């Protein structure tokens, strides 16, 4: 698989943080509370490695919001949370009476989907915007299950030479701190295209 | 034509759709407005199509919605607007009545770009009222459930017992704080662990681990309890004695869904029970088994011996001089002696043997699988060990002895009761044989005959008491100091048999002692002497007779006889100072405290006391200080050989000297010839008595009158 250089990863992290800034602004406005989002780390991994890494970091039970995108580069964007973090996050955002259930109700699933949607749109949108390229997005989908099932079943491309961009992401609300992962699953060609876009935008520097 | 009809179909399908569909072009002009939108918004197709979204919904200011449309058209982005985060975006209603009630429809809006030759935006509106209602219902139910759960947990937390519940696989779901304390696990950590990992128990003897609860649930065979005497091992390794009970949890379909385990700390109760059990089986002083346990174990031993070739032995031990220690040093010393002897005894037996304290100073031993020759060796070792042992109390030191009766236990043996009485008899025989002996019980003729003979004595003595078949004899006690003008007589007793033959006291006194008849004989003597005195008052007064009457050890500790004597003294108006009583040194010391009381009581009413056979026992002169006697009768055994044996002579001399130092008059017995008499005069003894002075003679006739 294609590897991004350290500089490219740093550059991508910066660009995504711009998107995160947008996402946190719109989330803050929606819930009437400051929501901070940040991407401290970007990694490129193989899909198998990514699954193992995510399992090790968040456990095997995850909640995910997926969005497929196509255009100058293409793939699936997934926002992953440990199951209990997704509950915490949604309930902190919607400020409803705490539902004493250890799973999301259907309304809550929808809300989480929207949160994921806002974040994914903002991140990918900011990339498209900066690269001055058009991306076309599909509607976000909610899914929940084991790490492997969620990641594998969501891949739209069938090539095995997929790479994963794994971005750790932190959410901070007034009382809640939750971490999740943003992953971009792309095949080699798409990764290559992204790499080229990065080089083009930053010139010879990356 | 075909193309048209497909377009018609498409338009019909759009109108038939159960969600709202709005298609916007790049300028946000409405291109499509389906029937669902017409019904929900009350805006006709013709009023919507061709107008911009903002014109149709002038009051919709939601930035999120407007941005989402913009993102779709300008950036190709798709968006979801959930009902939770964006309530009531568009002015849509489910029915006409809800319009008047301003009851907006709950909506979820999806916005996606359609990119072909031009970019369009499809807005889909979904009525989520039903989902909202379900959510609401779920919330109520969950709240109720939660409240109930809190209620149950509060109950479980407040009870004094520890509670753990498990799921159907036996994994911990809940534990109250007491269970947390007792196991050392907290619920957060324990959650999901198999209960056996958290609740680690085994039986007290460490043998049986408990079965898996998960397995019990699977087999639908949940025991009420895992057994008695369970020990819970805390995470830090400390153990707690517990009692527990287990029950299945059923759902409304009567299926097992889990289990509940309740347990409590019974450390104190079990310790108490152990103590009670221990105390029920042991003698608290010596910590040895008590006689009940000894009997029980003997029963088991006897039963186990039946039909098999095995030889065990039963030992019955009786300390010989325990009473002396107890009486001279108090019972604290006696107790200490028993404790030390117990230790001594335990050193001579094996772990498989049984040692018990059967009573006061009596012990029992069961020697397991032990041939009789070895058993006798062990018994003798014990005897020797006790003989060699010296008990020290303060400044005093005592040597003691033990009499041991041994009985074989074999398969042809008798009952436990007979075994015990045989061992008792053998012990008695050992005592009778002179103490500090081991006697093996032989169920042979001679012993039986001896016992039989004793039984005959018992009835004969009783008959003699009833029918006055005793005779009073007397022997003069001669003062060597001629200034003493009194006539001192020691009163003696004889028994007359049916043929009129005289039976000496040596023949019947041991039997009388054994059967507890000595007090009766003493009373008979006292009564008859006093009767005689009162009947012959003048004669006695004229000759200035003094009478010395022997009293047994049994009498010394018998308050009834004491008061009997006092009453008799009064009744017969006995002159004060004319009666003295003789008690043996051994009897006095064996009953030191009661002897003291006895002596003081009778001295108070004018009687005197002589200590008989002084020097024969093992006692030292020290005891003399504690006995307020008037006369010391030197043991005849020293006197009779004193002419030839310088040691005996020295003994007589020293006893005499000590007596004089203590202001006691001394009396020498067994003065058989003039040589002895001369020697005694030389030494300075006060009184002499014996065949060389005067032989015993009949004191009273058969009517009880003194023979002149």
- How far, in Å, are A29, B293, B617 from residue B484 at the CA level? 137, 63, 30
Which residues does chain B have within 8 Å of residue A118's beta carbon, measured at their own beta carbons?
79
Task: Establish if B137 touches chain A: CB-CB under 8 angstroms.
Answer: no
Would you call B81 and A97 a contact, using CB atoms and an 8 Å cutoff?
A: no
Task: Establish if A77 touches chain B: CB-CB under 8 angstroms.
Answer: no
The predicted structure's pLDDT at residue B434: 67
Would you call B142 and A113 a contact, using CB atoms and an 8 Å cutoff?
A: no
Which residues does chain A have within 8 Å of residue B142's beta carbon, measured at their own beta carbons?
99-101
More confident residue, B673 or A27: B673
More confident residue, B118 or A99: B118
Judge if B2-127 and B159-271 fold alike in CATH terms: yes
Kindly report the nearest CA distance between residue B112 and chain A, in angstroms: 7
Edge-to-edge strand list for the sheet holding B172-175: B172-175, B162-167, B256-265, B239-250, B230-233, B200-203
In CATH, the number for domain B477-486+527-694 is 3.20.20.450
Give residue B237's region: left, alpha or beta (phi > 0; psi -120 to 50). Answer: left
The predicted structure's pLDDT at residue B288: 93
Mean pLDDT of B552-577: 89
Q: What is the mean pLDDT of chain A?
A: 81
Q: Which of B137, B128, B104, B174 is nearest to B18 (CA)?
A: B128
From the list A96, A114, A134, the residue facing B76 with the nearest CB is A134
Q: Which helix H or strand E contains B48, and what residues bound it?
A: helix B45-48
In CATH, the number for domain B2-127 is 3.30.450.20
Task: Establish if B147 touches chain A: CB-CB under 8 angstroms.
Answer: no
Would you call A121 and B81 a contact, using CB atoms and an 8 Å cutoff?
A: no
pLDDT surpasses 50 at B1: no
Buried b / exposed e over A130-145, threshold 16 CB at 10 Å, is ebeebbbbebbbbbbe
Mean pLDDT of B84-104: 81
Give the model's confidence band at B113: pLDDT under 50 very low, under 70 low, under 90 confident, else very high: very high
**CATH C-level class of B282-443:** alpha beta
Task: Establish if B200 touches chain A: CB-CB under 8 angstroms.
Answer: no
Would you call A110 and B63 a contact, using CB atoms and an 8 Å cutoff?
A: no
Lowest average pLDDT, out of B70-84, B343-357, B604-618, goes to B604-618
More confident residue, B641 or B235: B641
The β-bridge partners of A163 are A46, A186
Task: Establish if A100 touches chain B: CB-CB under 8 angstroms.
Answer: yes
The predicted structure's pLDDT at residue A146: 87
Name the CATH code of domain A6-156+163-205 (choices 3.40.1260.10, 3.40.1550.10, 3.40.50.10470, 3.90.1260.10).
3.40.1550.10
Query: Is residue B437 a contact partner of residue B383, using CB atoms and an 8 Å limit?
Result: yes
Would you call B85 and A31 a contact, using CB atoms and an 8 Å cutoff?
A: yes
Closest residue in B to A67 (Cα) is: B78
Buried b / exposed e over B213-230, threshold 16 CB at 10 Å, is bbebbeeeebeeebeeeb
pLDDT surpasses 50 at B313: yes
Which residues does chain A have within 8 Å of residue B71's beta carbon, measured at their own beta carbons?
121, 125
Would you call B85 and A114 a contact, using CB atoms and an 8 Å cutoff?
A: yes
Give the model's confidence band at B685: pLDDT under 50 very low, under 70 low, under 90 confident, else very high: very high
pLDDT surpasses 70 at B691: yes
From the list B63, B75, B84, the residue facing A110 with the nearest CB is B84
Mean pLDDT of B83-110: 84
Q: Name residues whose C-beta falls within 8 Å of residue B624's C-beta, 6 or more positions apart in sequence.
A: B611, B632, B658, B662, B664
Closest residue in B to A69 (Cα) is: B77
Give the model's confidence band at B208: pLDDT under 50 very low, under 70 low, under 90 confident, else very high: low
The predicted structure's pLDDT at residue B492: 94
Lowest average pLDDT, out of A171-185, B573-587, B621-635, goes to A171-185
Closest residue in A to B62 (Cα) is: A30
Kindly report the nearest CA distance between residue A38 and chain B, in angstroms: 21
Task: Establish if B108 touches chain A: CB-CB under 8 angstroms.
Answer: yes
pLDDT surpasses 90 at B37: yes
CATH fold of the domain at B159-271: Beta-Lactamase (3.30.450)
Kindly report the nearest CA distance between residue A8 and chain B, in angstroms: 24
Task: Establish if A72 touches chain B: CB-CB under 8 angstroms.
Answer: no
Residue carrying the six token digits 């034509």:
B1
User: Rounded to an integer, what distance in angstroms lies between the CA atom of residue B209 and that of residue A119?
Assistant: 55
Share of chain B above pLDDT 70, in %: 95
From the list B79, B139, B146, the residue facing A121 with the nearest CB is B79
Task: Establish if A121 touches chain B: CB-CB under 8 angstroms.
Answer: yes
pLDDT surpasses 90 at B570: yes
Tokens of B220: 């639908």
From the list B75, B83, B138, the residue facing A110 with the nearest CB is B83
pLDDT surpasses 80 at B76: yes
Task: Establish if B79 touches chain A: CB-CB under 8 angstroms.
Answer: yes
Lowest average pLDDT, out of A37-46, A89-98, B151-160, goes to A89-98
More confident residue, A133 or B583: B583
Q: What is the mean pLDDT of chain B?
A: 86
ipTM: 0.86
* Radius of gyration for chain A, computed over Cα atoms and rounded to the nearest angstrom: 16
Kindly report the nearest CA distance between residue B26 and chain A, in angstroms: 15
Highest mean pLDDT among A30-44, B3-17, B541-555: B541-555
Mean pLDDT of B486-511: 86
Would you call A97 and B143 a contact, using CB atoms and an 8 Å cutoff?
A: yes
- Of the residues B75, B131, B147, B148, the best mutation for testing chain A's interface (the one with the most A CB atoms within 10 Å of its CB) is B75
Residue carrying the six token digits 């909506």:
B107
**Domain ranges (residues) in chain B:** 2-127, 159-271, 282-443, 477-486+527-694
Kindly report the nearest CA distance between residue B70 and chain A, in angstroms: 12
Q: What is the pLDDT of residues B579-607, one digit of tens each?
A: 999 998 878 877 778 888 899 999 999 99
Mean pLDDT of B84-100: 81
Mean pLDDT of B334-340: 92
Would you call A138 and B78 a contact, using CB atoms and an 8 Å cutoff?
A: yes
Instruction: Please give, one letter per residue, the 3-state secondary structure of A31-81.
Output: HCCCCEEEEEEEEEEEHHHHHHHHHHHHCCEEEEEEEEEEECCCEEEEEEE
Q: Which of A124, A147, A146 is nearest to A135 (CA)?
A: A124
pLDDT surpasses 80 at B96: no
pLDDT surpasses 60 at A206: no
The predicted structure's pLDDT at residue B669: 92
Would you call B112 and A71 a contact, using CB atoms and an 8 Å cutoff?
A: no
Mean pLDDT of B187-199: 88
Lowest average pLDDT, out of A148-162, A175-189, B501-515, goes to A148-162
Kindly report the nearest CA distance between residue B53 and chain A, in angstroms: 21
- How far, in Å, are A33, B476, B634, B645, B680 from residue B683 at the CA level? 126, 20, 13, 15, 5
From the list B71, B131, B149, the residue facing A125 with the nearest CB is B71
The predicted structure's pLDDT at residue B125: 94
Task: Establish if B650 touches chain A: CB-CB under 8 angstroms.
Answer: no
Which residues does chain B have within 8 Å of residue A105's beta carbon, measured at their own beta carbons?
134-135, 138
Which residues does chain B have within 8 Å of residue A111's beta carbon, measured at their own beta carbons?
82-85
- How far, in Å, are A147, A194, B616 from residue B325 at the CA level? 88, 109, 18
Mean pLDDT of B503-508: 82
Share of chain A above pLDDT 70, in %: 88
Which residues does chain B have within 8 Å of residue A74's beta carbon, measured at their own beta carbons?
none
Share of chain B above pLDDT 90, in %: 35
User: Rounded to an integer, what distance in angstroms lies between the CA atom of residue B198 and that of residue B182?
Assistant: 10
Q: What is the pLDDT of residues B231-251, one digit of tens each?
A: 888 888 888 889 888 888 888
């Amino acid at each position: 698989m294609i590897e991004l250089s350290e500089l490219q990863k740093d550059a991508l992290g910066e660009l995504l943080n711009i998107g995160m800034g947008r996402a946190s602004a719109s989330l803050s406005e929606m819930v009437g509370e400051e929501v901070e989002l940040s991407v401290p780390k970007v990694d490129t991994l193989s899909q198998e490695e990514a699954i193992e890494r995510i399992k090790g970091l968040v456990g095997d039970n995850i909640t995910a919001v997926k969005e497929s995108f196509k255009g100058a580069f293409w793939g699936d964007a997934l926002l992953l949370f440990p199951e209990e973090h997704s509950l915490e996050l949604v309930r902190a955002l919607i400020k409803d009476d705490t539902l004493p259930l250890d799973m999301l109700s259907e309304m809550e699933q929808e809300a989480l989907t929207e949160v994921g949607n806002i974040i994914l749109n903002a991140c990918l949108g900011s990339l498209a915007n900066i690269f001055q390229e058009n991306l076309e997005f599909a509607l976000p989908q909610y899914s929940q299950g084991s790490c492997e099932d969620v990641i594998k079943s969501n891949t739209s491309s069938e090539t095995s030479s997929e790479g994963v961009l794994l971005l750790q992401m932190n959410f901070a609300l007034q009382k809640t701190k939750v971490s999740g992962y943003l992953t971009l699953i792309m095949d080699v060609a798409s990764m290559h295209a992204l790499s080229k876009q990065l080089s083009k935008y930053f010139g010879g520097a990356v | 034509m075909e193309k048209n009809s497909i377009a018609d179909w498409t338009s019909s399908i759009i109108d038939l759709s159960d969600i709202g569909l709005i298609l916007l072009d790049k300028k946000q002009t409405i291109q499509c407005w389906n029937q669902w939108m017409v019904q929900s918004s009350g805006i006709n197709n013709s009023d919507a199509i061709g107008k911009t979204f903002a014109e149709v919904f002038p009051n919709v200011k939601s930035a999120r919605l407007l941005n989402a449309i913009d993102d779709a058209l300008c950036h190709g982005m798709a968006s979801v607007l959930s009902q939770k985060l964006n309530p009531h975006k568009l002015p849509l209603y489910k029915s006409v009545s809800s319009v008047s009630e301003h009851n907006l429809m709950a909506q979820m809006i999806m916005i996606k770009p359609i990119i072909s030759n031009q970019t369009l935006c499809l807005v889909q509106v979904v009525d989520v009222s039903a989902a909202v209602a379900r959510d609401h219902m779920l919330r109520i139910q969950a709240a109720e459930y939660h409240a109930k759960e809190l209620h149950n947990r509060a109950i479980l937390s407040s009870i004094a017992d520890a509670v753990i519940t498990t799921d159907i696989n036996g994994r911990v779901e809940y534990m109250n704080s007491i269970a947390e304390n007792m196991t050392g696990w907290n619920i957060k950590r324990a959650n999901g662990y198999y209960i056996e990992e958290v609740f680690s128990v085994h039986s007290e003897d460490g043998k049986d681990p408990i079965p898996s609860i998960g397995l019990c649930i699977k087999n639908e065979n949940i025991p009420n309890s895992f057994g008695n005497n369970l020990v819970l091992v805390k995470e830090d390794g400390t153990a707690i004695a517990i009692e527990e009970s287990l029950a299945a949890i059923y759902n409304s379909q009567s299926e097992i869904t889990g289990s509940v385990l309740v347990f409590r700390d019974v450390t104190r109760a079990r310790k108490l029970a152990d103590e009670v059990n221990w105390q029920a089986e042991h003698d608290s002083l010596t910590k040895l088994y008590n006689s009940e346990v000894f009997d029980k174990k003997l029963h088991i031993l006897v039963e186990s011996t039946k039909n098999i070739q095995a030889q065990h032995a039963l030992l019955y031990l009786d300390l010989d001089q325990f009473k002396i220690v107890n009486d001279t040093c108090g019972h604290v010393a006696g107790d200490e002696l028993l404790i030390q002897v117990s230790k001594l005894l335990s050193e001579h037996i094996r772990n498989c043997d049984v040692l018990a304290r059967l009573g006061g100073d009596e012990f029992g031993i069961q020697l397991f699988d032990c041939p009789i020759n070895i058993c006798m060796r062990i018994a003798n070792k014990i005897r020797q060990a006790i003989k060699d042992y010296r008990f020290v109390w303060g400044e005093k030191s005592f040597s003691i002895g033990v009499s041991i009766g041994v009985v074989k236990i074999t398969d042809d043996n008798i009952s436990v009761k007979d075994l015990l009485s045989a061992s008792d008899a053998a012990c008695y025989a050992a005592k009778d044989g002179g103490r500090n002996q081991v006697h093996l019980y032989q169920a042979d003729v001679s012993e039986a005959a001896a016992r039989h003979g004793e039984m005959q004595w018992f009835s004969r003595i009783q008959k003699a008491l009833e029918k006055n078949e005793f005779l009073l004899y007397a022997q003069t006690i001669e003062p060597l100091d001629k200034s003493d003008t009194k006539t001192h007589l020691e009163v003696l007793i004889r028994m007359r048999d049916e043929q009129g033959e005289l039976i000496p006291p040596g023949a019947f006194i041991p039997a009388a002692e054994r059967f507890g008849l000595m007090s009766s004989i003493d009373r008979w003597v006292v009564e008859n002497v006093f009767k005689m005195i009162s009947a012959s008052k003048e004669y006695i007064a004229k000759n200035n007779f003094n009478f010395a009457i022997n009293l047994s050890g049994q009498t010394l500790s018998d308050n009834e006889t004491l008061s009997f004597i006092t009453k008799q003294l009064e009744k017969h108006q006995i002159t004060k100072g004319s009666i003295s009583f003789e008690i043996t040194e051994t009897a006095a010391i064996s009953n030191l405290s009661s002897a003291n009381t006895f002596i003081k009581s009778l001295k108070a009413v004018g009687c005197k006391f002589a200590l008989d056979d002084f020097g024969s026992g093992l006692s030292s002169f020290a005891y003399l200080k504690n006995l307020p006697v008037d006369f010391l009768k030197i043991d005849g055994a020293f006197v009779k050989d004193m002419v030839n044996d310088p040691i005996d002579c020295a003994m007589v001399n020293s006893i005499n000297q000590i007596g004089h130092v203590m202001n006691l008059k001394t009396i020498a017995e067994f003065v058989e010839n003039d040589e002895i008499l001369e020697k005694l005069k030389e030494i300075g003894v006060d009184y002499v008595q014996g065949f060389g002075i005067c032989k015993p003679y009949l004191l009273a006739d058969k009517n009880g009158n003194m023979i002149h």
